[in-house]
């Protein structure tokens, strides 16, 4: 018994010594990670934008209604006892529709398939309420009064209007009505299956060997081409970016100051973070609890949606009160999803949070090539191996294949400057996106 007790005491002593040696390094690493996150070219939360999209159909036939108009207004409907003038008869009594319905710029028209999309909807963080009106000649209006619109494409509001003829009154829904015909995109359910631990094991190895913040998380595909991300980026066909469920990681449009490296089945892509979601906008799960904005009782690297989906955490709901239908901790734009990673369905991936990792950059790094002061390269040189050096740079910004790039057309090595040059390539060219100045 004494021998066993002595062994346990020795083990505890060794663990204490290891912790004492690691602890200062861990705190130093955490400090550097917080500093790295402060370098992100962020978006003012008052300037976030979202989307409202969906379908308008005939309530009897179920067929699509072409040229139906959908209008967003900020003011709520108002009850009235005066049935003359501007009053409208509805299933909830006589109501006044604000005059804003005639002047609001936030409106869309359905196509032949009955679909509509209204993008660039102002959604100051965390959300903004709108009244949504669908109307078409000879049909009764349908209205959803004061429903929150969330920032970004991933958490866009999806609405299905079913319009009737000759009802003699508008049909109004409040946001709390069980039959209200809307949901948010991230509330879709998928066949997920059991938790895949291979992505988590790869992430743990990265974290332990290099200090890179990494996690194995479930990934979904962004979609909604033509919609706007929270930072105002208009989504293109086969676009390249990612969404994370925290405003802390969101970079401004065309900024590469916040990036993640995503790995899947032996393939990797590095993409900027241009949208917020899925499920949450305050879940910086890659951070330790001491700095995590919300859900501080969850382990680091555990997305709230994953805990809610598998363990019923927070009653199985997200921060907005919606039911979590999938465990996603990242969303990937179509081009990076299909072309870059070769993914065909939602799946588990390994994510490196480059914007938050001390000692890492937000771009792929190549091998270092030693050159001498005074060496000059022109625009015809492919600078794959010239990451570190002291350079005098002149550049011009151009838009190429829809991507804003920085094309450096002259670089001279200097002895008094230290500049790290990005080796990031956009998907369609060898043009690079810029450089990062590290100081004298």
Residue 394 has pLDDT above 60, yes or no: no
pLDDT at 300 over 70: yes
Give the distance, in angstroms, between the CA of residue 283 and the centroid of all CA atoms in the same chain.
Answer: 11
Query: pLDDT averaged over the chain?
Result: 77
Q: Which of 16-20, 46-50, 123-127 has the lowest mean pLDDT?
A: 16-20
Q: What domains does the chain contain, in order, with CATH numbers?
A: 46-186 (2.60.40.1120), 190-356 (2.40.40.10), 376-437 (no CATH)
Q: What is the mean pLDDT of residues 261-282?
A: 93
Least confident of 52-66, 79-93, 354-368: 354-368
pLDDT-wise least confident of 21-35, 121-135, 180-194 = 21-35
pLDDT given for residue 135 in this prediction: 95
Q: What percent of the chain has pLDDT over 70?
A: 70
Strand order in the sheet with 391-400: 376-378, 403-413, 391-400
Tell me how far CA of residue 179 lies from CA of 135, 172, 182, in angstroms. 19, 11, 9
Identify the top-confidence range among 14-28, 202-216, 340-354, 383-397: 340-354
- Of 250, 56, 73, 307, the residue nearest 164 (C-alpha): 56
pLDDT at site 3 = 52
Q: pLDDT tens, 115-153?
A: 999 999 999 999 999 999 999 999 999 999 999 999 999
The pLDDT value recorded for residue 8 is: 42
Distance CA 357, CA 207 (A): 10
Mean pLDDT of the region 420-428: 35
Tokens standing for residue 29: 């690493």
Q: Rounded distance, CA 282 to CA 301, Å?
A: 14
């Amino acid at each position: 018994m004494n021998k066993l007790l002595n062994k346990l005491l020795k083990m505890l002593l060794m663990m204490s010594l290891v912790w004492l040696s690691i602890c200062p390094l861990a705190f130093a690493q955490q400090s550097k990670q917080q500093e790295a996150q402060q370098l992100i070219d962020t978006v003012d939360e008052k300037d976030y934008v979202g989307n409202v999209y969906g379908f308008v159909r005939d309530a009897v036939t179920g067929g699509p209604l072409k040229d139906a108009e959908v209008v967003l207004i900020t003011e709520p409907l108002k009850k009235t006892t005066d049935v003359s003038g501007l009053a409208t008869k509805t299933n909830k009594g006589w109501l006044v529709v604000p005059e804003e319905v005639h002047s609001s710029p936030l409106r869309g028209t359905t196509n032949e398939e009955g679909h509509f999309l209204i993008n660039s909807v102002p959604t100051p963080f965390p959300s903004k309420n709108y009244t949504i009106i669908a109307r078409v000649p000879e049909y009764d209006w349908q209205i959803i009064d004061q429903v929150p619109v969330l920032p970004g494409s991933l958490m866009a509001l999806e609405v299905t209007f079913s319009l009737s003829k000759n009802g003699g009154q508008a049909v109004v829904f409040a946001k709390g009505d069980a039959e209200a015909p809307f949901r948010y995109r991230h509330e879709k359910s998928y066949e997920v299956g059991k938790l895949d631990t291979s992505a988590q094991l790869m992430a743990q190895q990265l974290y332990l060997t290099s200090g890179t913040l990494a996690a194995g998380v479930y990934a979904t595909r962004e979609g909604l081409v033509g919609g706007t991300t929270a930072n105002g980026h208009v989504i293109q066909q086969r676009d390249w970016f990612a969404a994370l469920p925290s405003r802390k990681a969101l970079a401004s449009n065309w900024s590469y100051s916040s990036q993640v490296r995503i790995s899947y089945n032996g393939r990797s892509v590095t993409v900027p973070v241009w949208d917020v979601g899925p499920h949450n906008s305050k879940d910086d799960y890659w951070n330790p609890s001491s700095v995590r904005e919300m859900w501080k009782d969850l382990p680091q690297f555990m997305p709230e949606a994953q805990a809610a989906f598998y363990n019923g955490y927070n009653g199985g709901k997200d921060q907005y009160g919606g039911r979590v239908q999938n465990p996603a901790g990242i969303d990937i734009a179509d081009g990076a999803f299909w072309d870059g990673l070769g993914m065909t369905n939602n799946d588990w991936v390994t994510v490196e949070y480059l914007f938050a990792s001390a000692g890492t950059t937000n771009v792929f790094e190549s091998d270092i090539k030693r050159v001498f002061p005074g060496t000059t390269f022109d625009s015809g040189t492919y600078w794959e191996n010239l990451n570190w050096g002291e350079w005098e740079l002149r550049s011009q910004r151009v838009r190429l294949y829809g991507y804003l790039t920085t094309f450096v057309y002259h670089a001279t090595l200097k002895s008094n400057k230290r500049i790290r040059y990005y080796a990031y390539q956009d998907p369609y060219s060898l043009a690079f996106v810029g450089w990062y100045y590290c100081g004298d």
